[in-house]
Structure 1
């Protein structure tokens, strides 16, 4: 058996029924084979065995009371995956799909994504199977306070600094921060994604979407091309998608799709950003309401999608930005994108493309940016928020945006040059995985058997 097979077999035994986690580990390890052939000391130091196991896994019961006085129980998680290069850093996700497997795959990916930023942050992730949809503000506050009543024991500004993710925005961060402050009596940068008046950073809301577009811009510029005039397919309708769309417009491209859990919009003349923000940021309304304002757009419900397909990827486009969730783009979707002329895919979500889809992109030799590289802008700006909190200052929007732009350029350059080093020019999957892994692994070796 190869070291990949041996590792996956061991994980299947020690962490059963965690398919998303296995998928993430396999994708990274397969990319690392050229590194291990060149630099065998990583295997001699048993880095693989060490790096695939979280340093700490915290699971806890969250008990909260709803508006009817009923006691509800959810499960909470915090996976502190790796602290070799800094305190644990990664978001909290509140969604019914959350499980140990989801949180572990996200924490594993986060470790290498954070390393790519060049900033001093380790990898972690957390969340709960709590569903914020349909809950009142009071119920969400009740849940967040109960969640933090356990989590506060394990976090701190130089220990573990959670942020937001799916289902966790500024409202939830506010309730979590308030409870942390109430329990500890400390006002410190223990959470990122805060609102501006009490320690938040400008550009944090926009950062993941903006960063994905900056990364795509670097890929195109490196090939002598540009964003201006490009037609773009975008999935999702949350912060990542909305601000991907906003930055695409700012740089001259035309985004024509977006989607939510109920369906997708195709607006050939371009998604109306003002309408989208009104629906999703103000009204929390389903995307089908977009047609009330723009009857020339096309709406397709999930129930009407072709079997096994995501119809977002069926429209003609030059560039694609998967910005919703994991495994949202499969092999059939990838083939449809390629047939429709797509020449670049930049992942705004975490692991949105299945392994089969990634294989199609690599085989077609299009520009393909994996999530750990393309969507690292969010966590990078979270670290910039930590820096501002530590210094008790606030930078301007333009200063944070410029820092973000430079970070994304550096991530691209690092991944590109690493791919060249291993004689696979343009393979940013290999380049990003090796560059991120090498930084973490070298730190682990320097620090001894930890």
Structure 2
């Protein structure tokens, strides 16, 4: 049995009932097979893969808090500090009822390679809780966030582990967490990113993941003889990533026509009205039914998960909602309707069989660890500003973000070509991200 297969079997045996983590590891190891086989003797001797797939530290803790009725609630808190070979752990905090240890481990594992691809000195980590901020009062959210940080603060710091926002964790939640961290430690430092602009946050952070997705997509198309201008784009999701991907798509001359949330999806043949979408989702925190009610030409379709956006005819598809939302049948719909490019705005939103189908049918496909790296890249730029005690302009941050995303594409493109897999951007992203981390791990010894 090959070293790759041995390690994957070990992961499944040691981490039962964690299918998302198994999927993430399998996808990475399969595309690394050519690199690993070329260095198998050394990697096996150093147990490099075993160390790579095993987190350096896993934290699981309870989070008790009191709701507005005086009832004590208890949630699970998680932080997986996966790999610090190239820098302090960096990765978001997801607040969603679906959160469990397996999902946090899959996200943390992906984060290792994503962070490596940015070219910035940040390692991989992820955290969160099964707490659902939806429908909670500000006081309840604050109570949860303060209790969460009461435990987590012992394990994080500006040079140790720098969490950020994610699904369910926006500026409000980061603000409450940062305030409690500062109260407990007495330190005013760049320990959490996604902070408010008045206390160390960075301009362009809100827009970063969505903007970065489009910068990379534009470069991918350009390098394959196509122009994003004039293309019809379908987008899933209606959160931070989706909203700003839609906004940047318009700015680059494309026409985004869909968005979705957990109960349904919108098809707007005239193109999504960004201002209205922001009003509905960011201000009112409402459902997309309100978008349809205010926009007569838009069609609202009730559908759990919103996955049916993939039935709409398009040129470019951007899954920006959550993991495993784009399935094989969706991939077949996209190919049948003439879609020629898919770039992931969420973490692992495309199932493995759907990814393989898209690639086999000549669709340009960029994985989330590359195409959605704009968020963590800008978080790292926020860390730099905090260290310098400076604030950069929006234009400065946006310019750096664009350069990072363009460089990410060229790194993964070059890696794919070097190892005889030209056009396979999944393999290219994994190889480019892995080689940097593997070299650092080897140089630092068995730790």
Give 3-state SS (helix, strand or coil) of 2:104's partner: helix
Q: Which residue is equivalent to 2:438?
A: 441
Judge conservation of contact 2:94–2:128 (CA < 8 Å) in 1: yes
1:392 aligns with 2:389: yes
State the alpha-carbon separation in 2 of the partners of residues 3 and 365 from structure 1.
30
Cα distance, 1:150 vs. partner?
0.1
Corresponding residue for residue 322 of structure 1? 319
Give SS of 2:86's match: coil
Q: What do residues 237-296 of structure 1 show as CA deviations (whole Å, max 9, x unaligned)?
A: 000000000000000000000000000000011011111000000000100111211121
- How far the C-alpha of 1:12 sits from its partner, in A, is 2.5
**Aligned partners of 2:236 and 2:307 also within 8 Å:** no
- 1:6 CA displacement: 2.1
1:17 aligns with 2:17: yes
> 1:275 maps to which residue?
276
1:370 lines up with 2:359 in the alignment? no
Equivalent residue, structure 2, for 1:104: 105
Q: Aligned to 1:345, which of 342, 346, 353? A: 342
Does residue 47 of the first structure (1) align with residue 48 of the second (2)? yes
Q: Where in structure 1 are there 5+ consecutive unaligned residues?
A: none
- 1:5 equivalent in structure 2: 5
Partner Cα separation in structure 2 for residue 218 and residue 187 of structure 1: 38
Partner of 1:360: 357
What is aligned with 1:169?
170
Aligned residues: 446
**More deviation, 345-354/224-233:** 224-233
CA contact (8 A) 1:42 1:441 kept: no
Please give the alpha-carbon distance, in whole angstroms, between the structure 2 residues aligned to 1:189 and 1:123.
17
Contact 1:36 1:43 in 2 (8 A): no
Asked whether the 8 Å contact 1:67–1:139 carries over to 2, the reply is yes
Matches of 2:299 and 2:44 in 1, distance apart?
Answer: 53
Q: TM-score, normalised by structure 2?
A: 0.98
The aligned counterpart of 1:290 is 291
Counterpart in the other structure of 1:422: 419
Answering whether residue 411 of structure 2 is matched by residue 410 of structure 1, we say no
**Whole-Å separation in 2 of the counterparts to 1:37 and 1:423:** 14
Contact 1:20 1:102 in 2 (8 A): yes
* Cα distance per residue 1:43-65 (max 9 Å; x no partner): 33221111000000000000000
- Tell me the residue number matched to 1:261: 262
Q: Deviations over 1:162-219 (max 9, x none)?
A: 0000000000000000000000111110000001111000110000000000010001
Note the aligned Cα RMSD (angstroms).
Answer: 1.0
Alignment partners' CA distance in 1, 2:64 and 2:85 = 33
Structure-2 residue corresponding to 1:32: 32
For 1:220 and 1:45, the matched residues in 2 are separated by 40
4+ long deviations beyond 4 Å? none
CA distance in 2, matches of 1:367, 1:43: 34
Following TM superposition, by how much is the alpha carbon of 1:2 offset from its aligned partner in structure 2, in angstroms?
3.1
* Cα distance between partner residues in 2 of 1:3 and 1:274: 52
Which deviations, in whole Å up to 9, do the C-alpha atoms of 1:111-141 show, x marking residues without a partner?
A: 0000000000000000000000110000000
Q: What is the rounded CA distance, in whole Å, between the counterparts of 1:279 and 1:290 in structure 2?
A: 6
Q: Which runs of 5+ in 2 are unaligned?
A: none
